Amino acid sequence: MEKITLGEIAEVTRGYMISGEPDHFVTGVATDSRNAGKEDLFIPIIGENHDAHDFIPGALKNGCNAFLISEKRAADLVPDSDVIYVPDTLQAMQDLAYHCLQKLDIRKTAVTGSVGKTSTRDMIYYILSESFKTARPEKNYNNEIGVPLTIFSLDSSYEAVVFEEGLEHAGDIHRLSRMTRPDTAVITNIGVSHIENLGSRENIFRAKLEVADFLPQEGALIINSDSDYLSKGNIDRDCRIISCGTHPEDDYYVHDVTDRGTDGITFSITAGGTTEEISLPVPGAHNAVNAALAAAAAAEAGVGLDKVKSGLRKLELTGKRLLVREGRGRKVIDDSYNAAPASMRSALDTLMNTAGKRHVAVLAGMNELGSSWEKYHKEVGEYAADKKVDVIIGVGDKARMIIEGACEKSTSYAVWYPDKESLFKEIDDIVLEGDTVIVKGSNAYRMSEVADRIVEGQEQK
């Protein structure tokens, strides 16, 4: 973050100083009091379960001396500090983030989609980093708090940034795009995640399109044409639309895909009459189209397919996304960060393309699927059985339907456990030396603990 005075912050956020000096400055923003330092502005956010104004003394103890508050009582906790009052700290933080970003000369790309947005974001980052000093979010910063924090991590030394924009409700991505004002926007696909909140895939499609609400006329919206809602004819936006997919008519045509399981994938991209063969060091055939989306986004910044090839060779995905782990003679594909029907199927494909004496799937539930959740879970079980997975293990209430679907397809062995603790009692009798295992489920189920247990051989607490 570039140095900014408290007076400028008060003006931008439509607040006023309760105490302190307007010519004092900060060089960073913190929303966690434990991370608030000497030259930081601490912004306490009021959440569903806590009011961070209560943590102001902790920030003060850590050396922080500048605060932006929406509860005047909090000023009494720091009488000798710089304090700005605003009606709403979250809105003020977003206004400040927008202001700070507009002061930078930086190329901005925003990525959204039902699945694959973090992987695609990471790919764009690695490709752009071949030519520019590039930033991306830490961890999974893709919401109304995370996006501003990403902006505050930038300074004038950066030449490009890749944002990730997540969705829970209609209007979320519009608000995020209002802050980020991307030059290029990417939609990875339209799935069923968050259908519980939005009601239909059509509504999800409309909500995802909000990523293009602030694109300049010369900007580009890049879409995955393999996703049924995403076609040039189905999008009414006053910008260029670039298609990526497995059809020869796509602007970025993906073909000759070879899935080598945990060893990654190889494929070719043809664009503008040029074809480049790509080797991707991460698993999942679906990542070929994600890579094409990333290549198209990079091209908008003037980065060619040759840099796509070298950038993707360095790719490391954020978090537990198809992370390969080995221990006790067992190979585990830890894909425990999140789950949706499409990503479940892709993970099972990766499993079956990886060598092993037996193939084992340990699957938990998928959240935010609305009233059709039973159908989606059952279809995952049927898919696993069709793929001839040797052992299918369901964990948790929703996963019972995965096992029901698998059993109807008469797979060799399918078993359900109500929770991880029940599974741990028997897991060493089920998952054997020489097995290759996929572990996947929505993040709330903490399926990484199952991966730990298989690899390390001791129960995780």
pLDDT tens-digit readout, 380-405:
999 999 999 999 999 999 999 999 99
- Residue 50 falls within a domain, yes or no? yes
pLDDT tens-digit readout, 253-273:
999 999 998 889 999 999 999
State both tokens at 248. 């020869």
- Residue 196 falls within a domain, yes or no? yes
Q: β-strands 436-440, 323-327: how paired?
A: unpaired
| pLDDT > 90 fraction of the chain, expressed in percent and rounded | 84
- Residue 347 falls within a domain, yes or no? yes
- Residue 92 falls within a domain, yes or no? no
Q: Are residues 245 and 342 in the same domain?
A: no
pLDDT tens-digit readout, 286-311:
999 999 999 999 999 999 988 999 99
SS3 356: coil
Tell whether the model's pLDDT for residue 321 goes beyond 70.
no
Closest to 279 in 3D by CA, of 294, 134, 269, 416:
269
Question: What average pLDDT does range 45-73 have in this prediction?
Answer: 94
- The pLDDT mean for the chain works out to 94
Give the pLDDT of residue 32: 95
Q: Are residues 123 and 246 in the same domain?
A: yes
Question: Which residue, 261, 282, 312, sits at the end of a domain?
Answer: 312
Q: Are residues 191 and 331 in the same domain?
A: no
Give the pLDDT of residue 308: 94
Tell whether the model's pLDDT for residue 435 goes beyond 50.
yes
Closest to 337 in 3D by CA, of 187, 139, 123, 162:
139
- Residue 91 falls within a domain, yes or no? no
- Residue 220 falls within a domain, yes or no? yes
pTM over 0.85: yes
Q: Are residues 49 and 143 in the same domain?
A: no
CATH number of the domain that 302 lies in?
Answer: 3.40.1190.10
Question: What average pLDDT does range 351-361 have in this prediction?
Answer: 95
Q: Are residues 122 and 189 in the same domain?
A: yes
- Residue 175 falls within a domain, yes or no? yes
pLDDT tens-digit readout, 119-166:
999 999 999 999 999 999 987 899 999 999 999 999 999 999 999 999
Give the pLDDT of residue 398: 96
Question: What average pLDDT does range 428-457 have in this prediction?
Answer: 94
Number of domains in the chain: 3
Cβ(248)–Cβ(229) below 8 Å: no
pLDDT tens-digit readout, 181-230:
999 999 999 988 888 889 999 999 999 999 999 999 999 999 999 999 99
Give the pLDDT of residue 294: 98
CATH number of the domain that 55 lies in?
Answer: 3.40.1390.10
Question: Which residue, 31, 51, 86, sits at the end of a domain?
Answer: 86
Give the pLDDT of residue 460: 45
Tell whether the model's pLDDT for residue 238 goes beyond 90.
no
- Model confidence band, residue 461 (pLDDT cutoffs 50, 70, 90): very low
Q: Are residues 298 and 170 in the same domain?
A: yes
Q: Are residues 308 and 429 in the same domain?
A: no
Q: Are residues 139 and 194 in the same domain?
A: yes
| pLDDT > 70 fraction of the chain, expressed in percent and rounded | 98
Secondary structure (DSSP) of 64-114: --EEEES-GGGGGG-TTSEEEE-S-HHHHHHHHHHHHHHTS--EEEEEE-S
- Residue 97 falls within a domain, yes or no? no
Q: Under 8 Å CB-to-CB from 400, ≥6 apart: which residues? A: 394, 416
Cβ(117)–Cβ(227) below 8 Å: no
Cβ(420)–Cβ(428) below 8 Å: no
Q: Are residues 80 and 134 in the same domain?
A: no
- Bridge partners of residue 19, in order along the sequence: 83
- Bridge partners of residue 325, in order along the sequence: 332
| Helical ranges in 410-460 per DSSP H | 420-424, 427-430, 448-456
Q: Are residues 18 and 152 in the same domain?
A: no
Q: Are residues 291 and 160 in the same domain?
A: yes
Question: What average pLDDT does range 67-78 have in this prediction?
Answer: 95
Q: Are residues 394 and 451 in the same domain?
A: yes
Segment among 105-114, 207-216, 310-319, 400-409 with least mean pLDDT: 310-319
Question: Which residue, 60, 86, 112, sits at the end of a domain?
Answer: 86
Give the pLDDT of residue 411: 66
CATH number of the domain that 393 lies in?
Answer: 3.90.190.20
> Structural domain of residue 26, as residue ranges?
4-86
- Model confidence band, residue 338 (pLDDT cutoffs 50, 70, 90): confident
State both tokens at 275. 């074809």
Angstrom distance (rounded) from CA 158 to CA 172: 26
